[in-house]
Amino acid sequence: MRVDVTIYHNPHCSKSRETLQLLRDQGVEPAVIEYLKNPPGKRQLKKILSLLGMSPRELMRTKEVVYKEAGLDNPNLSRDALITTMIEYPILIERPIVLANGKAALGRPPERILEIL
């Protein structure tokens, strides 16, 4: 059975490269979305968060400079405000994210994605 797999990928990230290679080692050639160039839209990011069972903050890279500069550590920010900021600054989105079989997994560590294949 053929499985459609998508990876939100950053080629400069070692975990993202390892996850992509792991998929290929499993015989899967995923659709590769370089999310820094083509960030997900609001609807897609909400879907990804739902599939991951995460809040926006849980999927954010809180050590990025823009996190502090944009005041994202403010606990009063709404879910929608955080999602909008993640789309505006996709560097904030943790990676890699793999979608397959109506499920999602964060490839940290890369082996976690095997659970959804």
Catalytic residue list contains 37: no
Which burial class, exposed, middle or buried, applies to 22 when counting CB atoms under 10 A from its CB (0-12, 13-18, 19+)? buried
Show the tokens assigned to 72.
């994202």
Instruction: Tell me which H or E stretch contains 7.
Output: strand 5-9
User: Among the options 5, 7, 13, 75, which is catalytic?
Assistant: 13
List of residues 6+ apart from 90 with CB closer than 8 A: 35, 36, 39
Judging by DSSP bridges, how do beta strands 97-100 and 31-34 pair with one another? unpaired
8 Å CB contact between 41 and 67: no
Active site residues: 13
